[in-house]
Amino acid sequence: MIRKIAGVAVFALLTWTAAATAADIKIGFIDSARILAGYQGREDAERELSVEYKNWETQAEALKIGLDSLDKELQRQIVVLSDTKKRERQQEILQKKQEYETFVQSVFGPQGKLVEREAEFFQVVAEKINVILNRIAEEDSYDFVFDSSVNAIVYAPAADDLTDRILEELNQGTQ
């Protein structure tokens, strides 16, 4: 739905732009995917993240090996252990399994440290890109700058933002 609205907005803007004279409006575009792929600082960040990933992977493997070792030990001794000792060992194994699963989720899960670190990197890069983009857009008098990789406006003068007007009119009908 949002893509349709964005597509309609881009179409309307381009239609409006076609009616304007070349001297009235200046439009540029960027390809953020190509910018990210070509950013030389990306390699340093990827190396740093790779080192962290390997450390986390090693920690996860150590926890898994410890868990497997406890489980094998229990299987070897199960016939000679009293029911109380069996339950104690099973409880210890369950606790270690929970520690392992918690660690894996906290690092590699959807809100884990790995995703967090990647987001931090992209946030820093996005801020750098925006600073440069705004400077170039203002210096070269661009009215609008689109990002061709996501079909979005990434720069526009605040005076051209119609969001508040649209929200105001849209919300008038709901009161």
Of the chain, the percentage scoring pLDDT greater than 70 comes to 79
pLDDT tens digits, residue range 73-108?
999 998 998 999 999 999 999 999 999 999 999 999
Angle between helices 113-139 and 83-108 (to 10 degrees): 10
pLDDT band at 4 (very low <50, low <70, confident <90, very high): low
Amino acid at 142: Y
Contact 139/125 with Cβ under 8 angstroms? no
Supply 162's token pair.
């119609």
**Residue 80 placed within a domain:** yes
Residue 88 counted as domain residue: yes
Reading the block at residue 2, the tokens are 């949002």
Average pLDDT over all residues of the chain: 83
Number of domains in the chain: 1
> The pTM is what?
0.62
Q: What is the pLDDT of residue 97?
A: 96
Strand 27-30's sheet: what is its strand order?
A: 27-30, 144-147, 152-155
Q: 78: Cβ–Cβ under 8 A, 6 or more apart, which residues? A: 86
Cβ count near 170 (within 10 Å): 9
List all residues 6 or more positions away from 100 whose beta carbon is below 8 Å from its beta carbon.
60, 63, 64, 67
Contact 127, 135 (CB under 8 A): no
Q: At residue 157, does pLDDT exceed 90?
A: no
Q: Is residue 81 part of a domain?
A: yes
126-148 b/e (C-beta count within 10 Å ≥ 16 → b): eeebeeebeeebeeeebbbbbbe
pLDDT at 2 > cutoff 70: no
Q: Is residue 94 part of a domain?
A: yes
Asked whether residue 11 is domain-assigned, the answer is no
Q: Is residue 174 part of a domain?
A: no
pLDDT of residue 125: 85
156 contacts 37 by C-beta, under 8 angstroms: no
The per-residue pLDDT for range 158-169, each reduced to its tens digit, is 777 666 766 776
d(CA 134, CA 146): 12
Tokens at residue 107, please? Answer: 């690092």
Residue 55 in domain = yes
- pLDDT at 1 exceeding the cut of 60: no
Domain membership of residue 103 as a residue range? 41-110
Residue 45 lies in a domain: yes
pLDDT tens string 103-129: 999 999 999 999 999 999 889 888 888
More confident residue, 37 or 65: 65
